[in-house]
Amino acid sequence: MKRRIIKIDEALCNGCGLCAAACHEGAIEMVDGKARLTREDYCDGLGDCLPACPTGAITFEEREAPAYDHAAVMAAKAAKATPLACGCPGSMSRTICREEAPSPAAGAVPSQLRQWPVQIKLAPVNAPYFDGCHLLIAADCTAYAYGNFHQDFIRGRVTLIGCPKLDEGDYTEKLTAILAGNDVKSVTVVRMTVPCCGGIQRAVQTAVAASGKDIPLHVVVISPDGTLQ
């Protein structure tokens, strides 16, 4: 059938990923650093992705294409929302209410964590706790090196962690989608002095720029002996 559908000019695409985040149907994916319409039957032709694109790479065209399959879109969304069969808690997003948490044992330091999961790779792109939040993005090792990490950094923030050296792929696309799709008030990056930790700082800086928003960014560097640099 002939219908209206989006067209992506890969020559104009800068790979920011904002269109993929804006496409609620999941028709657009990032492939080799470029946005691509991978499921024509998922594209409803309404164009939520158009205003998200900063380079004008997305337009409408009238051409032969499969009909929009609403049922398939809903099934795909349901499949993504279903927890893993193993029951892994890392697949379930939730807010942690500190007022309702059990009181710590005498002398114990209470956790300041406000949400789950914390791994960048496991975190959802959209979650209620992102709206209006101050976001902490920390390298894995920082919490082990700095003794007062919960009180000084996690407290009052939503926390995401990762290791740019050990994790596969780049965080930039995921972080861009989170920043673009939510009302994040500020971002604090905590990294180690080691060179490989610069990867998480660069990913966040690129994501903030690609989000198209003026989000305050603060970087804290910690040495292996726990000293703030």
Position 209 pLDDT exceeds 90:
yes
Position 224 pLDDT exceeds 50:
yes
Same domain, 69 and 148: no
State which residues form the domain around 57: 2-81
* Residue 199 included in any domain: yes
Same domain, 74 and 144: no
User: Tens of pLDDT along 134-189?
Assistant: 999 999 999 999 999 999 999 999 999 999 888 877 889 899 999 998 999 999 99
What is the SS3 string spanning the chain? CEEEEEEECCCCCCCCCHHHHHCCCCCEEEECCEEEECCHHHCCCCCCCCCCCCCCCEEEEEEECCCCCHHHHHHHHHHHHCCCCCCCHHHCCEECCHHHCCCCCCCCCCCCCCEECCECCCCCCCCHHHCCCEEEEEECCHHHHCCCHHHHHHCCCEEEEECCCCCCCCCHHHHHHHHHHCCCCEEEEEEECCHHHHHHHHHHHHHHHHCCCCCCEEEEEECCCCCEC
Position 88 pLDDT exceeds 60:
no
What per-residue confidence (pLDDT) applies to 167?
84
- The mean pLDDT of the chain is 87
CATH number at residue 62: 3.30.70.20
* Residue 228 included in any domain: no
Same domain, 213 and 178: yes
* Residue 104 included in any domain: no
Same domain, 38 and 60: yes
Per-residue confidence at 218, pLDDT binned at 50, 70, 90?
very high
Same domain, 72 and 157: no
CATH number at residue 212: 3.40.50
User: Tens of pLDDT along 36-56?
Assistant: 999 999 999 998 899 889 999
- Percentage of the chain lying above the pLDDT 70 cut: 89
